[in-house]
Structure 1
């Protein structure tokens, strides 16, 4: 077993063995690193971070390389939990990065409600050392706490080597580590997104049932637009240029969108795309989770795409 471990590690890992003497360290087996389910989980987490931090113009490409200094985690903490810490935006030295991570992870652990330290599978040292296992555990916990409606790939497990260094030598063991819940994948939306998407389900029903739901959503829309003297009769066509969609979002969310930010009377597709893209960005800023929607679909009067946006707004605001 020890031979396998030494075959796996990079050379620099052995130069600092004494630095974690007495600790138990987990390392993902190389075979698990190639598992497509792990790859999918990483892809979903990267996409989630990038959508969440789009307005900050932060783009993450690698969970291993882009989260260790605290910059991304700080922005996620601010965006998702409304916690703004007085820390440096850019930290270049290891000591400054570690100090920043201590503050950020301290606040994150509080917001995640993890009082029992045995339940915390990450720490400052692991995150700063670009430990993939700890980083994924942290991000999955954040998704479950702050955005539980986000579908994560289910039943993701990896094989890990647990290494313990002591004065008497190195001990190791192999275990299975669970990253996401073991659920019924046959009915899970991440294994078959259309099966759980209520709009996709709706569109597979009889035409009269589709029309009934569309009428209910249109009634909700018009109830909220009546004070502006607007009425929607054709869901596909009237939302295609993004104008009514922007006005509806402002009305529901209680904020004013400056007229110079969008085209009130768009005359071409480019201006329509600008409006719809702005609308989707605003919805993302409000924390409303939407399925992947291309602004071009709305402009092209795609019924499913338009319904998905309006249904999400309806679901969030119908009881208010």
Structure 2
């Protein structure tokens, strides 16, 4: 390590402290810039109704205000913290409450998996801030397409009484997108992505199902409806018909289907009508037996919702 850097790290960090910083060269990486822009755009769209505008990940998130509002907008969580924390101690106290709740919502029980903490966020650490935001996107808005395969070179520095040790390594900020893989138009036409998906590990299946479910609930929100169980709630055809109407922008007369089906025959009528409507809209859909959806067949239900997701997620 050059002498200038040694002096810098001795002045900046305490003895016994280990720190991780993005290499200056990586800070100029176009992929990193694209990721930062995507995260800023996501924050600003999410908080548009709050009239909060973020311009810099390094400068605008350290005091907890933005994270506080994101947690409320994305998870509906109300925290007993002051709206604007002006002093450093107040900001740290606010961040402690927010990050504790966020870590719980993100399902991160293993502290070794958490790449951020109150001190790092409050110190405007870009690496920690990006890791936190990417984790929030994965949890709360998994269908959002962040730039995949973003990696940076980081230098890990440990200061001791005998000197400074440093090592350079590559750190992954975003991985190859599973959703991009399955929803890519470049996939071979002969492949059935859902059949392939269901052969993968359970957590990968759940990632795709969660993204599709989020898409469904976004489109059903104006009707005051929410889907929690993908298999069961589509079995009677009602939600599926209403979703098709929302996406296509037309009204399906109530006398054409059973709004409260009481038996399998009425459910089958609903699902069959839905499949007929989908074929009329020229939706690219594999051959699916309506009875399979009524019988809560996961593959059949996913194939229909996957086709809708793929067609309408960008609209």
TM range (shorter): 0.5 to 0.7
Asked if the contact 2:6–2:164 (Cα under 8 Å) also holds between the matched residues in 1, the reply is: no
Does the Cα contact within 8 Å between 1:154 and 1:185 map onto a contact in 2?
no
Distance 1:111 1:100 in 2: 17
2 CA distance for matches of 1:183 and 1:312? 16
Instruction: State the distance in 1 between where 2:27 and 2:253 align.
Output: 51
Name the structure 2 match of 1:138: 132
Alignment of 1:17 onto 2:13: yes
Q: Find the aligned partners of 1:170 and 1:128 in 2 and give their Cα distance.
A: 25
Matches within 5 A, 1:187-198: none
2:195 maps to 1:179: no
In 1, Cα distance between the equivalents of 2:2 and 2:179? Answer: 36
**Residue of structure 1 aligned with 2:57, choices 63, 66, 82:** 63
Structure 1 residues 14, 90: closer, same or farther in 2, change over 3 A?
farther
Compute the TM-score of the two structures, normalised by the length of structure 2: 0.58
Corresponding residue number in structure 2 for 1:170: 164
Structure 2 unaligned blocks of 5 or more: 188-243, 256-307
Q: How many residues align?
A: 206
Find runs of 4+ consecutive structure 1 residues off by over 6 angstroms.
none
CA contact (8 A) 2:145 2:180 kept: no
Alignment of 1:1-320 (within 5 A): 1-3=1-3, 5-6=5-6, 14-18=10-14, 21-182=15-176, 221-223=249-251, 311=312
- Quote the Cα distance in structure 2 between the aligned partners of 1:88 and 1:54: 21
Q: 1:221 to 1:141 in 2, by over 3 A?
A: same
Structure 1, residues 160-190: CA drift from partner, whole Å, max 9, x if none? 000011222211110001000035999687x
Contact in 2 for aligned 1:163/1:173 (Cα 8 Å): yes
Q: Secondary structure at the match of 1:223?
A: coil
Indicate conservation of the 8 Å contact 2:151/2:171, yes or no.
yes
Query: For residues 3 and 54 of structure 1, do their structure 2 counterparts lie closer, same or farther at Cα, with a shift above 3 Å needed?
Result: same
The CA distance in 2 between the partners of 1:313 and 1:188, in whole Å, is 15
TM-score, structure 1 normalization: 0.57
* C-alpha spacing 1:185/1:171, structure 2 compared with 1 (3 Å): farther
* 151 and 166 in structure 1: CA distance in 2 versus 1, 3 angstrom threshold: same
Distance 1:184 1:106, change over 3 A: closer
RMSD: 3.3
Residues 218 and 77 of structure 1: is their aligned pair in 2 closer, same or farther, counting only changes over 3 Å? closer
SS in 2 for 1:222: coil
Q: Deviations over 1:233-282 (max 9, x none)?
A: xxxxxxxxxxxxxxxxxxxxxxxxxxxxxxxxxxxxxxxxxxxxxxxxxx
Structure 1 unaligned segments of length 5 or more: list them: 197-215, 228-306, 315-320
